Amino acid sequence: MEWETVIGLEIHAQLSTNSKLFSGSSTEYGQEPNTQANIVDLAMPGVLPVLNTEAVRMAAMFGLAIGAPIGRGNVFARKNYFYPDLPQGYQISQFDKPIVELGHMDITLENGETKRIGVTRAHLEQDAGKSLHEDFAGMTGIDLNRSGTPLLEIVSEPDMSSAKEAVAYMKKIHELVQYLGINDGNLAEGSFRCDANVSVRPKGQKELGTRAELKNINSFKFVERAINIEIERQIDIIEDGGAVVQETRLYDPDKNETRSMRSKEEANDYRYFPCPDLLPIEITDEFLTAVKAILPELPAAKFERFMNEYDLSDYDAGVLTASRETADYFESVAKACGEPKLTANWVTGELSSHLNNDSLEITDSPVNAEMLTGLIKRIADKTISGKIAKEVFQALWAGEGSKDESAADKVIESKGLKQITDSGAIEALIDEIMANNEGQVEQYRSGKEKVFGFFVGQVMKASQGKANPAQVNELLKKKLS
């Protein structure tokens, strides 16, 4: 039988606010346990939540970016359950009135086609604290630093039909939230994590199969693996005549398997009801206008613009808009030097391979945008050849020159790398090489044009690479003929 997979994702993106969703405590990661939990985060008797409007602004940015209506009069609700790292005994979340309503996200499939994935909703909620089971024999430690940190839960429609599509969607959301500056994109620290709802059904069947929810997966690689292994598991069960149970499962990356956490029967009744401590959030037209004004150019729009404005290939435009920082870097160099094509080649080529080798982010590049601008200007005005430029770049990467546009010039000057464009000087070199290689001159003249390359190489070598290659070509042709 042929099977069809149906996948929906719930992504939890931690919003990059300075303070928590309902208290003034810092959200900084990695601090000493319980140093970032005030009386509100500890749910002391009598305390009350006060909404961090910055989180609302960020959620609204996300909504606008996915073309969704921003909930007017959206309401916070309490999701009630007991857990030691949930101090209130309820999570303040949103239930039937989320801040972001139906939107969408386009992904590119492997065959190059575009598929539109529906984003059902996105809502604001508090994160819980952490239970620490190690280090306390027979007991559990509670760290409430994360308690109350704002999350945007982004829920997709069950529109994805393979693990690859799910990852493509997750990456697009990941890219978007970072573009918007509302999430730090750090999967390892749990700032961006995902639950996947997976079900299978015979191809062509209309109704959905029973789904399993894979909880808390925090890498793209694991999402793909977990979904694939879960699809296999479900198909095996059905083909063996069994039935998939609706349950929550956990992916174990070490064993590459999913295992049951709890079944539907054991699932909590969360007893959602509107939180009486908070008023409905009023989203005014003025507020939305202000959010629109600060909305950065989005990846898709930037991609289109880069292709049109800078005449880039869709590959280059894709690479350069994959992150906002890369796009900003490219654009600042391209504008300053007036050579977008050359800039694109350098950013996607030399710069990105150096960054990869040293595992650096573009924002930490030793060669900043001004330095690269200076370098590209010298290639464009033929002060140096492309080959010499790589040597200069290497020097800049190693910290030579200065941190501004004059850096390349300083390196060219100090290393004497300036291109030779004096025809007389080049002719002198050619004459000498021709005199020393009469045999090859003969060969060329008798029709063996392949040896032309030999002469180019010799001239470049003699000039230590500094002779202008175009001029070398032109003069060689003249002299050899």
Instruction: Judge whether 94 and 126 are in contact, CB under 8 Å.
Output: no
User: Minimum CB separation from other proteins for residue 138, in Å?
Assistant: 11
* Binding to other proteins, residues 39-78 (CB under 8 A): 39, 42-51, 78
Region of 167-175, 212-220, 232-240, 265-273 interacting with other proteins (CB under 8 A):
265-273
β-bridge pairing 141-143 and 130-132: antiparallel
273 contributes a contact to other proteins by CB under 8 A: yes
Q: Which residue, 50 or 398, has its beta carbon nearer to other proteins?
A: 50
Residues from 1 through 20 that contact other proteins (CB under 8 A): none
Taking the least distance from each CB to other proteins, the nearer of 34 and 162 is 34
d(CA 301, CA 36): 39
Distances (CA, A) of 176 to 13, 64, 255, 301: 11, 12, 32, 12
Out of 67, 69, 84, 253, name the contact with other proteins by CB under 8 A: 84
**Smaller CB distance to other proteins: residue 32 or 82?**
82
Residues 409-468 interacting with other proteins (rule: CB under 8 A): none
- With contacts defined by CB under 8 A, name the span among 81-89, 240-248, 357-365, 456-464 that binds other proteins: 81-89
Min. distance of Cβ 266 from other proteins in angstroms?
A: 13
Task: Find out whether 315 and 344 touch, Cβ atoms under 8 Å.
Answer: no
x/- binding map, residues 124-163, to other proteins, per CB under 8 A? ------------------x---------------------
**How far, in Å, CA of 58 to CA of 64, rounded?**
10
Q: Which is nearer to other proteins, 89 or 386 (CB)?
A: 89
Spatial separation of the C-alpha atoms in residues 465 and 410, rounded to whole Å = 18
Spatial strand order in the sheet of 90-93: 90-93, 77-80, 273-274
Residue 393 near residue 367, CB atoms below 8 Å: yes
Q: Give the count of beta carbons closer than 10 Å to the beta carbon of residue 16.
A: 19
Q: Say whether residue 282 binds other proteins (CB under 8 A).
A: no
Phi, psi of 100 (to 5 degrees): -110, 125
C-alpha distance from residue 413 to each of 331, 368, 416, 471 (Å): 27, 20, 5, 22
In the chain, the N- to C-terminal Cα span, in Å, equals 72
Member of 221, 259, 264, 271 binding other proteins (CB under 8 A):
271
CB of 47 or CB of 322, closer to other proteins: 47
Please state at what angle helix 423-436 crosses helix 438-445, rounded to 10 degrees: 100
Q: Does 89 bind other proteins (CB under 8 A)?
A: yes
User: Smallest distance from the beta carbon of 56 to other proteins, in angstroms?
Assistant: 13
261 near other proteins, rule: CB under 8 A: no
Residues that bind other proteins (CB under 8 A): 39, 42-51, 78, 80, 82, 84, 87-90, 142, 269, 271-273, 276-279
